[in-house]
Amino acid sequence: MTAELISGTEVAREIRAELKQEIAELKEKHNLVPGLVTILVGEDPASQVYVGQKEKTSHNLGIYSERYDLPADTSQEDLLALVDKLNKDPKIHGILVQLPLPKHINETKVLFAIDPKKDVDGFHPVSLGKLMIGEPDYLPCTPHGIQQLLIRSGVKIEGAEVVIVGRSNIVGKPIANILLQKQEGANATVTICHTRTKDLAFHTRRADILIVAAGKAKAITADMVKEGVVVIDVGVNQIGTTADGKRILSGDVDFENVKEKASAITPVPGGVGPMTITMLMLNTVRAAKLAAGLI
Ligand SMILES: NC(=O)c1ccc[n+]([C@@H]2O[C@H](COP(=O)([O-])OP(=O)(O)OC[C@H]3O[C@@H](n4cnc5c(N)ncnc54)[C@H](OP(=O)(O)O)[C@@H]3O)[C@@H](O)[C@H]2O)c1
């Protein structure tokens, strides 16, 4: 079997087109323009690229965006004061603090300071707690993107054995919670694996849907999956550089060999990656609608 490709680029384009239309309607019918602010502290090149992409996507969709580029030596106090000011700004519906923050700043403290109503990243404990009890305001962007990829590719989630490799707070744990909920697009039986799992392959071979977020290039090999599995590869690992200096990326799955057994698989790049920013935009629109009492 050679797997069908699940293209995050395509699905993200589809969702962005829907959002663009919704944003235009919000402006026309309610004079409401969703507003997103991104805060970047320091000059980490990867973070600068991500923030740039978020700004560009906001602009393309008609979302009002503000960007703060703060020096690396910004104090925690100053950053908290800025978050507090933005919490009170009615033009701003979503606040995104780009991680990682410099070491002298306590990330948890800053993320907890964001008003949960503006927590479009979905990392605030209020957002995660609401997700856990099946009453979410905002789903974290990458896990939400994974769920949408599955739904929009016609993968049956209900009743499926879903095995997740990785238990991070930003991917593994929230995607487990999302797919476990008693609702449409979920209702899966979920197993979470990590580095202390006794026999990883025993679990991965049981998977109807295998979601890998380990951060280890090609950690999942063809002998670890069953025929017909659907594979979502979240990993982004740099495994080299081209002669002209471009990064060579690999997922956490040995794509070339696993695709021969899988029924569907996401590529890296072009799989989960494009979904993350798209779901951030979706959360920003949702935040604006919640603030305006439209939901
Ligand atoms: N495309 C996107 O938009 C996007 C977004 C987020 C992340 N990512 C990528 O996804 C990957 C994971 O990110 P993350 O932030 O979730 O990573 P993380 O915080 O480093 O967590 C990795 C998890 O995988 C587990 N793990 C690592 N190696 C393993 C192995 N050999 N067997 C079993 N479990 C293993 C770890 O177990 P322990 O808990 O026991 O250490 C941990 O729970 C990274 O490559 C990251 O770049 C992509």
The question of whether 53 is a catalytic residue gets the answer no
Q: Is the preceding peptide bond at 269 cis, omega within 30 degrees of 0?
A: yes
What is the CA angle 10-124-294, rounded to 5? 65
The question of whether 76 is a catalytic residue gets the answer no
The beta-carbon contacts of 238-243 under 8 Å, at least 24 apart in sequence, are: none
Ligand 1 centroid – CA 232 distance (Å): 13
The strand pairing partners of 265, in sequence order, are 5, 231
Ligand 1 centroid – CA 133 distance (Å): 24
Instruction: Tell whether ligand 1 has an atom less than 6 A from the beta carbon of residue 11.
Output: no
Q: Which of these is catalytic: 119, 121, 137, 252?
A: 121
Phi and psi torsions of 119, nearest 5°: -85, 70
Instruction: Tell whether ligand 1 has an atom less than 6 A from the beta carbon of residue 3.
Output: no
Which numbered atom of ligand 1 lies nearest the CA of 167? 43
Per-residue pLDDT of the chain (295 residues; tens, 9 = 90+): 689 999 999 999 999 999 999 999 999 999 999 999 999 999 999 899 999 999 999 999 999 999 999 999 999 999 999 999 999 999 999 999 999 999 999 999 999 999 999 999 999 999 999 999 999 999 999 999 999 999 999 999 999 999 999 999 999 999 999 999 999 999 999 999 999 999 999 999 999 999 999 999 999 999 999 999 999 999 999 999 999 998 999 999 999 999 999 999 999 999 999 999 999 999 999 999 999 999 9
Ligand 1 centroid – CA 217 distance (Å): 10
